[in-house]
Amino acid sequence: MRYFLELAYKGTHYHGWQRQPNGLSVQEVLETALATVLRQPIAIVGSGRTDAGVHATQQFAHLDLDTPLPEHLLRSLNSLIPHDIAVYDCFPVRPDDHARFSAMYRYYQYHISRRKNPFQEGMSYVFTLPLNVEAMNEAAAIFLNHTDFESFSKVKTDVKTFNCRIDRASWEQKPNGDLVFHIQANRFLHGMVRALVGTLLDVGQGKRSVADVERIILVRDRKQAGRAAPAAGLFLTEVGYDFPKTE
């Protein structure tokens, strides 16, 4: 039987989602706790990989079991994992439903604080320089007209295509002046959102024009885009699927 886990985490103290040899990952913490509760080795597959320091308010992972889930699984699991990871739900799905490949879209938010805020430490990017938010939104709208985002992907990445369908890309300005970048797509490349944000911040400062953004997309060269914005401000906010929960 295949099950989906719905979870969230604060990524500050983790080397990203995916298990790796040189640092603690969210995946490793969850697999260790699941193995303790279920009394067998457990491997989980996430809906996507988040980098070190990146957060998730909604993430999904799947696992396969030959035995029924124990009662009070969520309570047992949440009592074992650290306070900065939470598992909200575990539910059965169809055998071919896949946390990564069945996802229809991913929605990210990037949070920028316009002044130092001790209560947002590690949860936003503090950026106090003047910004032209209107120009940043004009530039962000250009993303919806393109599909090849090689210029915003990390250079050493193992992908077959750099094509992504972006359905939403816009900046929201809060009453206190803080900014949130909203972006939704069917898939994202490694480091893509942070590179997009860094480039848009250059536009907001007048270092690049709106027209430069389209040129950067077309040239397909990561060196032409802006630097990656810090990981702290990035949140995986929603992952969408087209199948219902099964009973």
pLDDT, tens digit (0-9, with 9 covering 90-100), for 167-185: 999 999 999 999 999 999 9
Q: What is the pLDDT of residue 234?
A: 98
Q: Quote the CA–CA distance of 3 and 89 in Å, as a whole number.
A: 10
* pLDDT one-digit tens code per residue, 140-166: 999 999 999 999 998 877 788 999 999
**Assigned domain for 82 exists:** yes
pLDDT at 189 over 80: yes
* pLDDT one-digit tens code per residue, 109-125: 999 999 999 999 999 99
Q: What is the pLDDT of residue 155?
A: 82
Question: Does 9 share its domain with 89?
Answer: yes
Q: Quote the CA–CA distance of 185 and 166 in Å, as a whole number.
A: 4
Question: Does 87 share its domain with 162?
Answer: no
Q: Quote the CA–CA distance of 154 and 166 in Å, as a whole number.
A: 18
**Assigned domain for 245 exists:** no
Mean local confidence (pLDDT), 105-110: 98
**Assigned domain for 242 exists:** no
Q: What is the pLDDT of residue 121?
A: 92
Chain centroid to Cα 237, Å, comes to 7
Q: What is the pLDDT of residue 68?
A: 86
pLDDT at 244 over 70: no
pTM: 0.94
Question: Does 97 share its domain with 113?
Answer: no
- 3-state class (DSSP) for residue 38: helix
| Domain span at 220 | 105-237
Q: Quote the CA–CA distance of 16 and 203 in Å, as a whole number.
A: 29
Question: Does 32 share its domain with 96?
Answer: yes
Q: Quote the CA–CA distance of 107 and 87 in Å, as a whole number.
A: 19
Question: Does 119 share its domain with 57?
Answer: no
Any idea what the CATH number is for the domain that residue 73 is in?
3.30.70.580
User: Which phi and psi (to 5°) does residue 38 adopt?
Assistant: -90, -10
pLDDT at 246 over 60: no
Question: Does 91 share its domain with 126?
Answer: no
Per-residue confidence band for 67, with pLDDT thresholds at 50, 70 and 90: confident
Q: What is the pLDDT of residue 245?
A: 55
Q: What is the pLDDT of residue 231?
A: 96
Among 50-54, 89-93, 153-157, the range scoring the smallest mean pLDDT is 153-157
pLDDT at 13 over 70: yes
Q: Quote the CA–CA distance of 120 and 125 in Å, as a whole number.
A: 9
Question: Does 110 share its domain with 6?
Answer: no
Residue 101 burial by CB count (10 A; 0-12/13-18/19+): exposed, middle or buried? exposed
Question: Does 48 share its domain with 114?
Answer: no
| Overall number of domains in the chain | 2
**Assigned domain for 243 exists:** no
Residue 195 burial by CB count (10 A; 0-12/13-18/19+): exposed, middle or buried? buried
Q: What is the pLDDT of residue 111?
A: 98
Mean local confidence (pLDDT), 37-41: 95
Q: What is the pLDDT of residue 227?
A: 95
Tokens matching residue 66:
């030959």
**Active site positions, annotated:** 51
pLDDT at 51 over 80: yes
